[in-house]
Amino acid sequence: MTTLPPLDDLLSGAHVVSLPMRVRFRGVDVREALLLEGPSGWGEFGPFVEYSDAESARWLAAAIEAAYAVWPAPVRTAVSVNATVSAVGPDRVAEVLARFDGCTTAKVKVAEKGQSLDDDVDRVAAVRSAMGSGARVRIDANGGWDVATATEALRRLTAYDLEYAEQPCATVEELIELRTALARKGIDVPIAADESIRKADDPIRVARLGAADIVVVKVAPLGGVGSALEVVEACGLPAVVSSALDTSIGIAAGVALAAALPTLDHACGLGTVGLFERDVSATPWRPAAGLLRTGRAVPDAGALADLAAPPERQQWWRERLVRCHAVLAGGSGR
């Protein structure tokens, strides 16, 4: 892990921003994050508000790595990314896809609370219709289905030629049971694990127990680019790099990870800056011709001022940083 900087250094270079979303995503209408400036550039500390300090400390470790260390050398200069379709109605699918220039892969959110499986099928069907038969379409349930529901959902959705289903069930044990059920019924949909890796005390367990075909890794929840690379290597499965609803600062770290992977056979979920009404960078990291290039993102001073969170939220995030710094100082963060 990168040497832990003094707390005062982190606080002195901290900016808390509040970014309105174009559409509700993962239950979020406004995305908040704390940005850190250090000698290597900018880092992003943005664990979701419900996360514990122990879990959030990994996000702080990733932000410190970005701001104070050097990322691993890339083996490619550009990374293919997917479009992300939130839980919108089928009538809004074309509008959402239009924000992702040149992307030939789409990730579609399903299992949204308050919606039905019919809603999911209609959304996936609209994506397939809009993108054509040559595109790749994957779904992400965020662990929202039980095994029986997931089996039925994938039976119905397999008609749309899914690339894979991301975290259809919440637990590793359920993923194992689901894979068995799908094989028994002759349903051929690969399973990708996300939460079973980034929220786990043992992120390798999902691969060790044969619960997934693909691993989805995110820089911040795994403690940084270097740590995430170690997880991918230990899992020994194909990897997809995804964002955690990051600003351009965090997206740059995700691209650094994807660019450093020895092999990369799938488009990455890093094209999410377009979900914000406005980004912190004057040149937001949005895909061009379906690609994102390596480099460092730098926030715009005007955007930092315009997007500054209200004073009470500034204080909340700074206090959270203090607590997470203590976790890292005590050696409790992975």
Interval 155-195: pLDDT, tens: 999 999 999 999 999 999 999 999 999 999 999 999 999 99
Interval 270-324: pLDDT, tens: 999 988 999 999 999 999 999 999 999 999 999 999 999 999 999 999 999 999 9
Contacts of 252 (CB under 8 A, 6+ apart): 66, 285, 295, 296, 297
- Average pLDDT (120-126) is 98
Strands 239-241, 162-166: pairing kind: unpaired
Interval 41-93: pLDDT, tens: 999 999 999 999 999 999 999 999 999 999 999 999 999 999 999 999 999 99
Interval 4-22: pLDDT, tens: 999 999 999 999 999 999 8
Q: Which residues are identified as catalytic?
A: 109, 218
| Res 191: pLDDT | 98
| Res 23: pLDDT | 78
Q: Which class would CATH give 7-70+302-329?
A: alpha beta
Task: Name the CATH code of domain 78-300 (choices 3.40.190.10, 1.10.8.60, 3.20.20.120, 3.20.20.390).
Answer: 3.20.20.120
- Sequence ranges of the chain with CATH classification 3.30.390.10: 7-70+302-329
> Is residue 334 over pLDDT 90?
no
User: Strand locations in the chain, DSSP E?
Assistant: 14-25, 28-38, 41-45, 78-80, 83-85, 105-109, 136-140, 162-166, 191-193, 214-217, 239-241, 291-293
With cut-offs at 50, 70 and 90, classify the pLDDT of residue 331.
confident
Contacts of 1 (CB under 8 A, 6+ apart): 61, 65, 223, 224, 227, 328
| Res 201: pLDDT | 85
| Res 333: pLDDT | 47
Distance of alpha carbon 326 from alpha carbon 322, whole angstroms: 6
| Res 284: pLDDT | 95
| Res 1: pLDDT | 58
Q: Mutual orientation of helices 248-260 and 53-68 as an angle, nearest 10°?
A: 80
- Sequence ranges of the chain with CATH classification 3.20.20.120: 78-300
With cut-offs at 50, 70 and 90, classify the pLDDT of residue 99.
confident
DSSP state of 266: S
Interval 203-238: pLDDT, tens: 899 999 999 999 999 999 999 999 999 999 999 999
Q: Around Cβ 303, how many Cβ atoms within 10 Å?
A: 20
Residues flagged as binding site for Mg(2+): 140, 166, 194
